[in-house]
A and B are shown apart, each in its own frame.
Chain A
């Protein structure tokens, strides 16, 4: 698929990743590959209780074990607490008085090898007073339920109640009102690379932290506060990162804090590596939510109003739950026109490990409910499932105009209509829908769904995002950004933008991994913000460097500055291209001329703060995105009606994606395939943590079954170009929207094939089997 778009030298085409060779040859260093001279190994002692008071910790035996160099407990952190924002700082680096989830860290050891560190942890004696716990949101909300945090009555983590228009009036005037409850499960983030950290103190006041962090400026600020260091003395270095998907690699772990404190105490570098077991028992998960959605429609299937009632399990600590639950509602006004909207959402503390951001953050849950319910309504009204979506979809605003959603989000572009048209045509929907669905013991079905996602997240703090473009005297270029590529390809896109603007090739631009000692501050990789905001910063920095060189070039070539063009590694005068010089000669001359110049371009993202009114968490009004991406998807599945096994077929799996303008077509396709398939199909059919009173019953990739290559549909990706005026070169985010459309598309396909509704994800074989049995029973009763 070598489609290209736009009239650019580099952008709008497949661009080879800048780090691909390092990765394919095994040379890329991830956190666990980092070694520092004289390094010790750290290990975290974890609680065997999900809820218990800590009465005493005796570390004396551990300290005496030969090879042990430092032992710490939570008390070493002097009462420090941290959290997502100031009012939600409710977590300690290691628990001091009380543990709130199973395997929470309570102490840690550094030793000369891993085995000794682990053995020493076994020698630490902790006296606990076990407490009754709450393990489901329903238990947590009972009057008189045990409290996870003594100062948080009712175990409420966060709740929002928003109201736009008048849903009751809308429902009263509707032809049909449907109320359905859908469940989304607790899911692993699914990265294969367990988090790892190496920390050391070059001197007692300076910290170096090398860790698998998708948002290195989070630990930068948190560790500065924790260890009372000026930010200038905190150096966070990002190695290559084996995926993130939100959550743990944005945030801190017991192991991260322990590595830093152990290194301080031992006076030597300390490395802490999570095992996959640690990851699957203690790392942040997707929130399990119950979404009750009430939707009113006219006889023609036009939506009159939606009321959401959501309850959610946030686990032991607040973490990012305030953002997650805000996101469940903030994009409800798209991709369908919504005239009345009410949103009631509440998240509860439980004694499970904490929940947090995960691809499709928040929006995923309500998108699943909305898209399944849309099919239910279509069937009830006898309207085609694609047609009902087309009737409701927000049309792409005419250039220069803005569509405002009911809660004050602004869309300059919205390609859902074209996405839907393209996928319906690609699977030949009009022909295929009439085909016989059952062949022997197999039933086949196609489902549709749309998705949308915010792009270029705008939050009220820590939004600063900048880039530096340093032109070396030989014409080569360093591009410095604080944005972290966790696998999505932002290093490549940023480098490509700089090269495009300076008229160079991408090979001329070198990007370093994030190092807070040198790169400018950036919020990090979350909220699909990097391409849009760090991309804008890259444009501004490259333009600044170009401006400095243009001034000099104008003098050299005897032309006005605005006549100077940078293209194909040449600099020339627009009206007389013969008056030119090579990029390299220009740069050398500029740097060596007396007085010599140092060409450093700098730029920052302005859209992240200047564009719209920031969304208000308490009212749900305003913009969370700089712009918004859209998706439509068709999924074909095969159901074995005897066993309930569902699999995606290789045919008729198509996603059309409006990411505004695909800067790197190849990366957009791979992202959409991975974003839609892995995180979407996985959520629809396979993945769920099974819990038993705070214990994760399936904490490994055998029992926590994840889709494998033979379960991967050979999906086609179609580009829809809308050229968004708020994005760099027209771009919006790619692939979080498609993560939201895959689960409902697949559940709708199962219904299309068999007539059964699986409203609780995932549609694992047993669930589908019993639903089919139930259907059989009901059918025979009717006879």
Chain B
């Protein structure tokens, strides 16, 4: 019947997750409300601010703009799955060290957009980085230190660390 919960099976942060979700449920709602992964932020819900960015099969995707069921059979990484245990990902480490973070509300989305970029393009120019995070609004950092931090992380990752 229409509106009845349906089965969803996908990988979240490396673990297989199976649950029943309403067909109208957004990926954002399932991550935040069902899986309690609240690091994915709810900003605008119209795909304009990027605070809910996750990686879907490695690509940066706005979790507010796809249905949870569209992720069926796919691989999702949220901010909670980026670090390796206590060891921060180079992107996270660079943002911390470089003082890119202010209020932090956009940070999860910035990390995930950068992660998708560096997976595809290990040596991005400043223009490439600006393009990759153009969907992520930040209200208080002025973007500059995020851009520089992503460049630093790329250099570090190329260095084999």
Contact = CB atoms under 8 A, between A and B. Distances in A.
Interface in A196-222: none
Contact of B41 (A19, A30, A675): A30
A666 interface: yes
A171 interface: no
B129 interface: yes
A709 B129 contact: yes
Interface stretch (A482-490, A497-505, A628-636): A482-490
Given A26-B108, A670-B145, A677-B144, A17 B96 contact: yes
B60 interface: no
Contact of A243 (B37, B79, B88, B139): B139
A674 B43 contact: no
A660 interface: no
B21 to A, nearest CB: 14
B99 A715 contact: no
Interface in B1-57: 32, 37-46, 48-49, 51
A191 interface: yes
Nearest to B104: A23
Given A17-B101, A667-B99, A709-B130, A677 B107 contact: no
A159 to B, nearest CB: 32
B131 interface: yes
Contacts of A771: none
B103 A486 contact: yes
A702 B48 contact: yes
Contacts of B102: 243, 487-489, 670-671, 674
A715 B105 contact: no
A27 interface: yes
B103 A487 contact: yes
B39 A25 contact: yes
Contacts of A241: 103
Contact of B147 (A240, A275, A709): A709
Nearest to B113: A709
Contact of A700 (B48, B133, B135): B48
A29 B38 contact: yes
Contacts of A273: 42
A276 interface: yes
B105 A243 contact: yes
A564 to B, nearest CB: 35
B122 interface: no
A215 B111 CA distance: 29
Contacts of A486: 103
Nearest to B111: A24
B132 to A, nearest CB: 8
Interface in B38-94: 38-46, 48-49, 51, 78-80, 82-83, 88, 92
Interface in A218-244: 240-243
A245 B45 CA distance: 22
Interface string A669-697: 11101111110000000000000000000
* From B83, B100, B136, B143, residue with most partner A Cβ within 10 Å: B143
A709 B145 contact: no
Contacts of B108: 26
Nearest to B79: A26
Nearest to A279: B44
A712 B144 contact: yes
B137 interface: yes
A25 B80 CA distance: 6
A20 to B, nearest CB: 4
Given A24-B111, A26-B108, A700-B46, A677 B143 contact: yes
A28 interface: yes
Contacts of B106: 192
A612 interface: no
Nearest to B148: A714
Contacts of B32: 33
Given A25-B83, A191-B139, A192-B44, A710 B105 contact: no
A673 B139 contact: no
Contacts of B144: 673, 677, 712, 714-715
B126 interface: yes
Interface in A703-731: 706, 708-710, 712, 714-715
Contacts of A437: none
A245 B108 CA distance: 21
Given A191-B139, A276-B49, A677-B143, A27 B39 contact: yes
B36 to A, nearest CB: 8
Contacts of A712: 130, 142-144, 147
A32 B51 CA distance: 13
B46 A674 contact: no
A407 B104 CA distance: 40
A16 B92 CA distance: 13
A360 interface: no
A21 B88 contact: yes
B134 A25 contact: no
A14 B39 contact: no
A709 B136 contact: yes
Contacts of A242: 41, 103-105, 139
Interface string B136-161: 11111111111100000000000000
A674 B105 contact: no
A670 B142 contact: yes
B95 interface: yes
Contacts of A710: 127, 130-131, 134
B97 interface: yes
Contacts of B38: 26, 29, 32-33
Contacts of B140: 243, 245, 487-488, 671, 674-675, 678
Contact of A701 (B37, B46, B101): B46
Contacts of B104: 19-20, 22-24, 28, 240, 242, 487
Contacts of A26: 37-40, 78-80, 107-108
A25 B88 contact: yes
Interface string A305-344: 0000000000000000000000000000000000000000
Given A30-B105, A673-B141, A666 B49 contact: no
Interface string B108-134: 100100000000000000110111011
B42 A708 contact: no
A664 to B, nearest CB: 8
B133 to A, nearest CB: 5
A193 interface: yes
A523 interface: no
A489 B49 CA distance: 23
A779 B161 CA distance: 62
A192 to B, nearest CB: 5
A676 B141 CA distance: 10
Contacts of B130: 709-710, 712
A190 interface: yes
B126 to A, nearest CB: 7
B139 A192 contact: yes
B46 A702 contact: yes
Contacts of B137: 192, 701, 706, 708
A666 B44 contact: no
Contacts of B142: 670, 673-678, 712, 715
A714 B126 contact: yes
Contacts of A275: 45
Among A22, A33, A671, A708, find the residue whose CB has the most chain B CB atoms closer than 10 A: A708
24 contacts: A25-B79, A25-B82, A25-B92, A27-B39, A30-B41, A32-B38, A193-B105, A242-B104, A243-B103, A243-B140, A276-B43, A487-B105, A669-B145, A670-B99, A670-B141, A673-B144, A673-B145, A675-B142, A676-B142, A678-B140, A678-B142, A700-B46, A710-B130, A712-B147
Given A192-B106, A670-B100, 15 more contacts: A16-B99, A20-B104, A21-B96, A23-B101, A24-B88, A25-B83, A190-B139, A243-B140, A276-B45, A487-B102, A670-B141, A677-B144, A708-B135, A709-B147, A710-B134
Question: Which 5 pairs from chain A and chain B are nearest by CB?
Answer: A26-B39, A487-B103, A242-B105, A23-B104, A26-B79
